[in-house]
Structure 1
Amino acid sequence: MTDSTSPKIALVTGASRGLGAAFAEALADQYHVVAVARTTGALEELDDRIQAKGGAATLAPMDITNTDAMAQLCRSIHDRWGKVDLWVHAAIHAAPLTPAGHIDQKDWDKSIATNLTATGQLIPFLSPLLGQEGQAVFFDDPHGGDKFFGAYGATKTGQIALAQSWQAESVRTGPRVSILAPKAMATATRARFFPGEDRAPLHDIREEAARLIAELSL
């Protein structure tokens, strides 16, 4: 049984940088944040920012493609809090842009493992923790079929298709599944995709996180 006095729990996968970090920092006003990412240093910097705002976080430096580690994390969350109120899935592998005929096999395998396989494993892990009242959040980035976006476009499109299926299946039973559409932001990932792009018109990550969180009506 979940303690009614326990904090609301937000699990953010891909929390070390970019939109995931901005979401984690913003959510810390209302949630205890469980921050998952591979980069320990970036997670510690996130924790410093959250603590400076008076929030609290649990850092989980791990790779979402490590099934055993993620299963253990979900078990630990269950044992400590008994639930997840909000899951924000921002983890992604953004393979370098390249013609389809020149896709590097390691990048292809990593794209499938991170963007598809891990998502397909995390949904069954987290669905019981989210229950009927929880909410899962995914971020659309429609590049399927765009030239040079083969590995990223195919696997990101597949991820969102999986999320859409879960969304349709859970309308009456929960959890609520939201698929958000971020505006173009000045992230490191976008800089790799579009080097030399004028970044002045791009949206601030923190402002965009605040806008998207408002859409969720938390």
Structure 2
Amino acid sequence: MSNAERIALVTGAARGIGAGIAKRLAEAGHPVILTDVIGEVEETAKALREAGHDARALRLDVADEAEVARLPERIGADWARLGVVVNNAGISPKHEGKRRPVSEMPAAEWRRVLEVNLTGAFLVSQACIAPLRARGWGRVIMITSQASRTKSMIAGAHYAASKTGLMGFARSLAGELGPHGITVNSIAPGRIETPMSMGAAQGANEAFLVNVPVGRVGTPLDVAEVATFLASDAASYLNGTTIDVGGGSFMP
């Protein structure tokens, strides 16, 4: 199969890392379906179409089980051509640019972060198993975080817990789907220049750079290049792995 026969579904694709991944996959020849809960996803898909790519947008709350269940119906005949699934949708609440300590965190905020970041990836992945297995080929990519690999002074406990859970979920799913020609891998970005990361308190990103050997904040393209590799045939023997994209800020 060529990439033109492998549709890529990218969640949280309106902007930031998700938009960067959708753009790079489109440039690699994949038709892309961008989903997000915010309307900006329509403009992101439109820009890709204007650049000559096959792209469409869907409004989707990944934490809404009923909405996710309707994906096959909403995507229609193209559902059978699904080849790549990128679970990128995520939230990281800040309050005046800072995370809430656990002692002050409302349970509702905790639940919402896990529902979007972890349960959302579960629901989308589960929905996509059937068409991938029917084709005998697939790539599922989880966008986790450096907060899932080591202590974070910026992300809240709920975000770190959700992303750590996502990495564990990816490993379990990789074991289940590997025999069907489907690989499941994770990317753990460090500090990336996105609207989410720029919402941190003044000075937080500058302080983080002290521990980045390459001396810069990452870009969505840095993550997108790795995602595009994991979506390719060249990555066929990578399964259940986590690739750190953080300029050396975390070295296992």
Q: What's the TM-score, normalizing by structure 2?
A: 0.76
TM-superposition CA deviations, 1:104-147 (whole Å, max 9, x none): 23321211211222222222211112223011001231325546
TM-superposition CA deviations, 1:159-212 (whole Å, max 9, x none): 211111111222222311121233431112222345322388212222441244
Q: Is the 8 A contact 1:137 1:178 kept in 2?
A: yes
Q: Which residue of 2 aligns with 1:65?
A: 63
Alignment of 1:111-122 (within 5 A): 111-122=113-124
- Which residue type is aligned with residue 33 of structure 1? V
| Cα distance in 2 between the residues matched to 1:215 and 1:62 | 24
Unmatched 5+ stretches in structure 1: none
| Cα distance in 2 between the residues matched to 1:70 and 1:192 | 28
Q: Percent identity?
A: 23
| Cα distance in 1 between the residues matched to 2:220 and 2:123 | 28
Q: Is the 8 A contact 1:10 1:32 kept in 2?
A: yes
Do structure 1's residue 137 and structure 2's residue 163 form an aligned pair? Answer: no
Instruction: State which of 192, 210, 216 in structure 1 corresponds to 2:225.
Output: 210
Distance 1:81 1:121, change over 3 A: closer
Unmatched 5+ stretches in structure 2: 210-214, 234-252
* Structure 1 stretch displaced more, 186-195 or 25-34: 186-195
Instruction: State which of 195, 198, 202 in structure 2 corresponds to 1:195.
Output: 202
Q: Is the 8 A contact 1:25 1:46 kept in 2?
A: no
Q: Which residue of 1 aligns with 2:248?
A: none
Q: Which residue of 2 aligns with 1:103?
A: 105
| Cα distance in 1 between the residues matched to 2:224 and 2:93 | 23
Do structure 1's residue 162 and structure 2's residue 169 form an aligned pair? Answer: yes
| Cα distance in 1 between the residues matched to 2:201 and 2:227 | 23
| Cα distance in 2 between the residues matched to 1:161 and 1:73 | 25
| Cα distance in 1 between the residues matched to 2:41 and 2:25 | 15
Do structure 1's residue 149 and structure 2's residue 156 form an aligned pair? Answer: yes
Q: What's the TM-score, normalizing by structure 1?
A: 0.86
| Cα distance in 1 between the residues matched to 2:182 and 2:12 | 21
Do structure 1's residue 128 and structure 2's residue 127 form an aligned pair? Answer: no
* Secondary structure in structure 2 of the residue aligned to 1:34: strand
- Which residue type is aligned with residue 136 of structure 1? V
RMSD across aligned C-alpha pairs, in angstroms? Answer: 2.6
Q: Which residue of 2 aligns with 1:31?
A: 30
| Cα distance in 2 between the residues matched to 1:152 and 1:194 | 17
TM-superposition CA deviations, 1:80-112 (whole Å, max 9, x none): 441311001110121331211111233212112
Runs of 4+ in 1 over 6 A off after TM superposition: none
Q: Is the 8 A contact 1:85 1:134 kept in 2?
A: yes
Between Structure 1 and Structure 2, how many residues are aligned?
215
* Secondary structure in structure 2 of the residue aligned to 1:188: coil
Q: Is the 8 A contact 2:146 2:188 kept in 1?
A: no
Q: CA deviation at 1:216?
A: 4.2
Q: Which residue of 2 aligns with 1:55?
A: 53
Distance 1:62 1:17, change over 3 A: same
